[in-house]
Amino acid sequence: MLLTIPPGLQSGWPWRTSMIFTRQSYLAVRLGCNALGVASSSLVMKTEPSVAIRNLVEHLKAHSVRTEGGPFRLRSGETTSWYIDARQTTFAGDGAPLVGAAVLEALDGDVDAVGGMTIGADPMALATAIAATTAGRTLNAFSIRKEAKGHGTGGRLVGPVTEGATVWILEDTTTTGGALIEAIDVALSEGLQVTGAVALVDRSAGRVGVLLEERAIPYRALVTPELLGVE
């Protein structure tokens, strides 16, 4: 796997744009460039965001990021000076196509479907499936209920996805990785093959990447606080 180290990486954290990382590469970045020899096959970074990411970031900054009215308490219980309601972008008519384009370019390998926990992942999954279809690629969307339904077909999995399908798990905003891990567990229990995960906005400072590396699942964080201009 190609390793590209952007200038100034040795100065530390956070990175400049979307990334793929494992426990070893995360620790290497935290420790400095001298440790990267150990992790050179585990880390891929782009020196600049793609056009799709830049467009997405602009919409998020204009419509989803809040810095006034704080402090804000997150679902994790942490308190922060800024808050992001990504659904102001993922559910927007002009924001959803940007989400679909950014997620689609992050997918790696043959993927049958994308989805995750309702309701955060739902618009992301549908937007990505539509973007793929527009580009001449077959891709379905699915959703995972918070609880199994007791009537109809039952279960927690919703959408045109069947046992054995190769899927990527999506989430709009992640701090602890809880929703991603739950979605992965449900997908696996339903016989799906989970080959990757994407977070639209990752504010975990690398913690989610470590969790998913422990499960040997490639992870893409499309947008970080640095790209949004908040810390």
pLDDT band at 151 (very low <50, low <70, confident <90, very high): low
**Highest CATH level, class, for 51-228:** alpha beta
Give the model confidence (pLDDT) of 176-200 as tens digits: 999 999 999 999 999 999 999 999 9
> Residue 182: exposed, middle, or buried by beta-carbon count in 10 A (0-12, 13-18, 19+)?
middle
- In this predicted structure, what is the pLDDT of residue 164? 98
> Residue 7: exposed, middle, or buried by beta-carbon count in 10 A (0-12, 13-18, 19+)?
exposed
CATH 3.40.50.2020 domain locations along the chain: 51-228
Give the model confidence (pLDDT) of 10-67 as tens digits: 222 233 334 444 444 443 333 333 322 323 233 344 458 999 999 999 999 999 999 8
